[in-house]
Amino acid sequence: MKFWLMKSEPDVFSFDDLMARPAKTEPWDGVRNYLARNHMMAMKQGDLILIYHSNCAPPHVAGIATVAKEAYPDSSAWDPASDYFDPKSPAEKPRWFRVDVKGVKALKEPVALATLKADAALEGLEVVRKGTRLSVTPVTEEEFVRVLSLGNTKYSTK
DNA sequence: GCCAACGTTGGC
DNA sequence: GCCAACGTTGGC
């Protein structure tokens, strides 16, 4: 099993929104960055995800999710009405992909970015690095478990 | 609102 | 293929 961190802007789509969805599941549309896409294509069903809220005060990790469906073409790219429309990713030859993400549980206590930055065990976490904009990043199992611990949350990673 | 980081675009 | 200009992200 692998571990990931995915960003969302809570004003647009929050972890609570995810938990409120039917089956707690949502297609993760609109990723338009090659490295982030490649990470999504490497995801396997059942992988665990930290959902991070950016562009809010304070930025924080909000909850745990899992990969409900592995990468498949992101149809929003071929919908001219979509904000994510990209004529360079037609249905016949899709460039952009999405996964379905299923909410698992909220962290008992959200873990603020400042807390992540202050933790020596999380130095390698992409999101604590200044200027990082990647919306999908891999994390190690140790980092994943550490964040849960900071959030006073128990969840088995086995 | 400012600005650093950095991905993308397009001229050459 | 280089690189300057530009746009976006996102913390502060």
Q: How many domains would you assign to chain A? A: 1
Does A28 map to a domain?
yes
**A125 CA, B10 C1': Å apart:** 34
Q: How many angstroms separate the CA atoms of A106 and A50, rounded?
A: 10
Does A155 map to a domain?
no
Protein residue closest to B5, using CA and C1': A131
Does the C-beta of A9 come within 7 A of strand C?
Answer: yes
Does A43 map to a domain?
yes
Protein residue closest to B7, using CA and C1': A33
Of the two residues A124 and A104, the one the predictor is more confident about is: A104
Average pLDDT over residues A115-127: 93
Q: Which domain holds residue A51?
A: 3-150
Of A1, A127, A126, A125, which Cα lies nearest the Cα of A53?
A: A127
Does the C-beta of A54 come within 7 A of strand C?
Answer: yes
**A85 CA, C2 C1': Å apart:** 30
pLDDT tens for residues A39-48? 999 999 999 9
CATH of the domain at A29: 3.10.590.10
Q: Which nucleotide is nearest to A113 (CA to C1')?
A: C11
Q: How many angstroms separate the CA atoms of A116 and A123, rounded?
A: 8
User: Has residue A130 got a pLDDT over 90?
Assistant: no
Average pLDDT over residues A100-109: 98
Of A113, A101, A94, which Cα lies nearest the Cα of A54?
A: A113
**pLDDT value of position A88:** 86
Q: How many angstroms separate the CA atoms of A136 and A8, rounded?
A: 10
**Nearest 5°: phi and psi at A71?**
-55, 135
**pLDDT value of position A83:** 85
User: Has residue A37 got a pLDDT over 90?
Assistant: yes
Does A158 map to a domain?
no
Does A18 map to a domain?
yes
pLDDT tens for residues A61-92? 999 999 999 999 999 998 888 888 888 888 88
Does the C-beta of A11 come within 7 A of strand C?
Answer: no
Does A117 map to a domain?
yes
DSSP tag of A151: T
Identify the band that residue A24 occupies on the pLDDT scale cut at 50, 70 and 90.
very high
- The pLDDT > 70 percentage for chain A reads 100
Does A32 map to a domain?
yes
**A112 CA, C7 C1': Å apart:** 28
Q: How many angstroms separate the CA atoms of A20 and A121, rounded?
A: 32
Task: Give me the amino acid identity at A77.
Answer: A
